[in-house]
Amino acid sequence: MSLNSIIQDMKGGIGSISMKGFEVKLGYGLRSKSHRVVQDVYIPVDAFKQSCWANLPPELLRDVLMRIEASESSWPPRKHVAACSGVCRSWREIMKELVQIPELSGKLTYPISLKQPGPRDSIIQCFIKRNRTAQTYHLYLGLTQALTDNGKFLLAAHKCRRTTCTDYIISLDADDMSKGSITYIGKLRSNFLGTKFMIYDSQPPHAGATVTKSRSTRLVGLKQVSPRVPAGNYPVAHITYELNVLGSRGPRRMQCTMNAIPASAIEPGGVAPTQTDFLLNNLDSLPSIPFFRSKSTCTDSFSSGSLGGQKGGGLVLKNKSPRWHEQLQCWCLNFRGRVTVASVKNFQLVASPENGAQPGQEHEKVILQFGKIGKDLFTMDFRYPISAFQAFAICLSSFDTKIACE
């Protein structure tokens, strides 16, 4: 039997095993139509032992899984890689070694990939669908170069208007976008005027992150914490829109300060904090959960220390200034064919000179671009050092009404 035949048979076998009854926890531990993997796996012993893969030699198993990972480089075929990670603990450990983070591979494989920095040498192309009636926004990974493909669902957000502010609750599940859900991963909050926004992560983005105390916050370590309530809100970025004297006729001016990313991240040899797993709800297991790629240890308390203490502080991004086109009589930016409809919401973010480094090629790279291609359809392209979650939250700020600016 050839190795290729073994690989094809294994792909079919994974589905057969699942039909026999093994249960895979998805995202934070719930089933989802869009995300098939990662936290823990429950497999009836009989279901897996009866399969032909139970006694596969470790060397051969690793070789087979390596070939599957290399061959299924894009969605939807990449679901086989995710499925392999959900078979059992040993398979999952092998796949965790084989599947690289988006920064190195340029691929989004697991839900945690949405919290990790994008690729350094390429961009990840996504698009956002807006539902005006339901006040929801869905983020999809583009599967082709076309602007009209169905895409792979990644994240969803729900707009919640309050008396003095507006919240955008961000979730892994399009059908459950409440803050009390275990699929909640963060939120975007605006002030009353829609000129200032804060992005909150549901778990610490780096060692020493400070949690924001609020009515809805449940701090890690308290006995009153409900197992279905997120651990806390950790501020990871704030966005500011400046007053535009031309109103809606002129381009917006925005600045985004990434509290969770050091300014040195975009320099040669720079590193951006990378989360490696979701925070489990079982408080007893917190000390043993790996959060970071660095060797620093994660303590029980996240209330001390901040990224601002690092050299250079947080990374500052600003929108690239458009130029006035005399013939078209409009403000223009080069979106390289990814934006087709003129809109005040369109923008490109680049590193700001405020970061203190000398201007160069790295500072001229577009880190995030967002633009309109249809009535309720927008493209979102991002790269290192921001993650899909951070990029999505920044783009959501562009949708919000800005009373003072417009």
The answer to which of 4-18, 47-61, 148-162, 366-380 has the lowest mean pLDDT is: 4-18
- pLDDT for 133 equals 94
With a cut of 60, say whether residue 306 has pLDDT above it: no
With a cut of 50, say whether residue 91 has pLDDT above it: yes
- pLDDT for 87 equals 82
pLDDT band at 146 (very low <50, low <70, confident <90, very high): confident
With a cut of 50, say whether residue 223 has pLDDT above it: no
Average model confidence (pLDDT) across the chain = 76
Element (H, E) at 213: none
Residue 267 — left, alpha, or beta (φ > 0 → left; ψ -120 to 50 → alpha)? beta
3-state secondary structure 277-294: CCCCCCHHHHHHCCCECC
Q: In the block, which residue shows the tokens 């203190």?
A: 356
pLDDT tens-digit map of 12-66 = 665 554 444 333 333 334 444 444 333 444 444 445 554 566 677 888 889 989 9
User: Which candidate, 242, 238, 226, places its Cα nearest to that of 315?
Assistant: 238
With a cut of 90, say whether residue 300 has pLDDT above it: no
- pLDDT for 124 equals 96
CA dihedral 28, 69, 84, 108 (to 10 degrees): 20
Mean pLDDT across 367-394: 95
- The better pLDDT of the pair 322, 132 is held by 132
With a cut of 80, say whether residue 198 has pLDDT above it: yes
Confidence (pTM): 0.78
Q: Are 55 and 25 in contact (CB under 8 A)?
A: no
pLDDT tens-digit map of 230-273 = 456 899 999 999 866 555 555 678 999 999 999 999 988 899 99
Q: Which residues of 136-284 form beta strands (DSSP E)?
A: 136-141, 152-161, 166-171, 184-190, 196-201, 234-241, 254-262
Q: Are 25 and 42 in contact (CB under 8 A)?
A: yes
- The better pLDDT of the pair 9, 189 is held by 189
Q: In the block, which residue shows the tokens 């995030």?
A: 368
Query: Quick one: 358 exposed, middle or buried, by C-beta within 10 A (0-12, 13-18, 19+)?
Result: exposed
Mean pLDDT across 164-176: 93
Q: Are 122 and 367 in contact (CB under 8 A)?
A: no
Q: For a pLDDT cut of 90, what percent of the chain falls above it? A: 39
What DSSP designation does 142 have?
A: -
